[in-house]
Amino acid sequence: MIVKTLVDELKIEKWQVEASIKLIDEGSTIPFIARYRKEVTGSLDDEILRKFEKRLKYLKNLQERKKQILQLIEEQRKLNEELKSVIEQAKTLVEVEDIYRPYKPKKEN
């Protein structure tokens, strides 16, 4: 899902997205990738790579939060297929948190 989203949003090829994710996950910096890994990324410039990295972090956080919320609702035994589908289809963190709000445990004083 992350790869497809990045391909669609940044209008770059799937292989460029996959190669860039691999380099970033291995710890390469954006300036390093832009300068020394042009052949691997298809000459993506640092401006695109910075947008890419920022969006990649957001999408990974979104995916992780969805996973956490699914687990938390499952622990309450309130997760059904419809709710699971709605959470999985959510496109933003705000949307995911809005869906979770009614299931969030109330804080006691």
Region 7-35: mean pLDDT is: 96
Interacting residues of 52 by C-beta distance below 8 A, sequence separation 6+: 6, 10, 12, 17, 20, 44
Distances (CA, A) of 105 to 6, 41, 94, 108: 34, 45, 18, 9
Residue 77, pLDDT above cutoff 80: yes
**Mean per-residue pLDDT, 2-26:** 96
Residues 2-12: what's their mean pLDDT? 95
Q: Quick one: residue 42, left, alpha or beta (phi over 0 = left, psi -120 to 50 = alpha)?
A: left
Mean model confidence pLDDT for the chain? 95
Sorted by where each starts, the structural domains of the chain and their CATH numbers stand as 2-103 (1.10.10.650)
Give the pLDDT mean for 34-41.
Answer: 95
pLDDT of residue 109: 63
pTM over 0.85: yes
